[in-house]
């Protein structure tokens, strides 16, 4: 099959997955319309909790940006926090493009304009993403045995095994990473890394990614308190539910932003654990999607408009 044929097939598959996700969401809403309408009519938004949740999310973004900066600096490419924040938030808009790889490419291109090695920027982004995914699974494995046991009893034992692998893998990462990177560089014909990341930076970055999932879950708990105070659970449960749903949506590459997948997993977990009825779980899942989408898009759009290139374009248009 020619390249153009594969491209068309890929786009068709993306459209099909998105259509299925939207159809599922519409079907669930139609089935529960009366219950949803009753839940929405009785919903009272407590904005202080929403503000607190949003502040925690923005702080978490700052921590993830700093984690990326640490990896960059240890690879010999230091970057100012203000520049890193602008680059990271703009590149983060790529999560809503099917494929999930656009963010990494954008990080490399934008960082290159700041005089940073594009290879280092993209490599740090890929490594940061892998550490983040690994940390997420570690969070689920270590603290989510109760949640996993609700769905399948054997998942509890599997979770314990994964948690052990995660801890050992993190400790061994400084020794495992250099030969892996060198082989990848030779395979792709890229320049070899001039220096290897230190164990200290790798462990700090891993710890920051673990903390980011915990903070996301706490933000989700605060958001739930603001829109659905009847959904009561301990913070660890909110952390596990948020992490599991977010990772599920992220790992389905064809769906931009994990739309539909994240909400299915979140609502199902809330119902399965007896934390909410189907209607309340659906309302919380959909409203949290809207809330987080605002904070995933708004910083990037703001940074894009305030960046020097965008400012010049706006000046030309006005003149």
User: 30 pLDDT exceeds 60?
Assistant: no
Residues in the chain, overall count: 319
pLDDT digits (tens, 9 = 90+) for 157-200: 776 676 677 777 777 777 776 777 677 666 656 555 566 778 88
Stretch 223-235: mean pLDDT, rounded?
85
pLDDT given at position 12: 62
Taking alpha carbons only, the member of 278, 220, 276 closest to residue 245 is 220
pLDDT given at position 36: 47
**Distance set, CA 307 to CA 110, 229, 272, 299 (Å):** 11, 40, 46, 12
Lowest-pLDDT range of 11-25, 55-69, 107-121: 11-25
**Distance set, CA 256 to CA 86, 107, 134, 307 (Å):** 22, 18, 21, 25
Please give the Cα distance from 88 to 104 (Å, whole number): 10
Stretch 260-271: mean pLDDT, rounded?
84
């Amino acid at each position: 099959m020619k390249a153009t044929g594969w491209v068309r097939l890929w786009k068709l598959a993306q459209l099909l997955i998105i259509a299925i996700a939207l159809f599922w969401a519409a079907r669930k809403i139609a089935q529960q319309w009366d219950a949803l309408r009753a839940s929405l009519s009785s919903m009272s938004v407590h904005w202080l909790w929403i503000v607190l949740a949003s502040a925690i999310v923005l702080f978490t973004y700052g921590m993830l940006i700093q984690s990326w900066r640490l990896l960059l600096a240890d690879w010999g490419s230091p970057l100012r926090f203000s520049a890193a924040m602008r680059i990271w938030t703009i590149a983060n808009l790529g999560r809503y493009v099917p494929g999930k790889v656009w963010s990494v490419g954008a990080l490399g291109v934008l960082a290159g304009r700041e005089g940073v090695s594009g290879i280092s920027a993209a490599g740090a982004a890929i490594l940061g993403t892998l550490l983040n995914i690994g940390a997420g699974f570690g969070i689920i494995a270590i603290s989510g045995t109760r949640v996993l046991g609700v769905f399948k009893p054997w998942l509890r034992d599997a979770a314990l095994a994964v948690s052990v692998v995660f801890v050992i893998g993190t400790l061994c990462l400084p020794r495992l990473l250099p030969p892996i990177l060198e082989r990848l560089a030779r395979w792709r014909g890229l320049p070899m890394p001039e220096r290897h990341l230190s164990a200290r930076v790798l462990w700090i970055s891993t710890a920051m990614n673990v903390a980011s999932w915990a903070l996301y879950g706490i933000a989700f708990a605060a958001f739930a308190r603001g829109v659905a105070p009847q959904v009561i659970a301990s913070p660890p449960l909110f952390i596990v539910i948020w992490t599991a749903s977010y990772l599920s949506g992220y790992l389905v590459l064809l769906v931009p932003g994990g739309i539909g997948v994240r909400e299915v997993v979140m609502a199902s977990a809330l119902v399965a654990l007896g934390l909410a009825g189907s209607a309340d779980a659906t309302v919380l899942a959909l409203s949290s999607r809207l809330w987080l989408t605002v904070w995933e898009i708004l910083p990037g759009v703001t940074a894009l408009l305030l960046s020097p290139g965008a400012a010049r374009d706006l000046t030309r248009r006005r003149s």
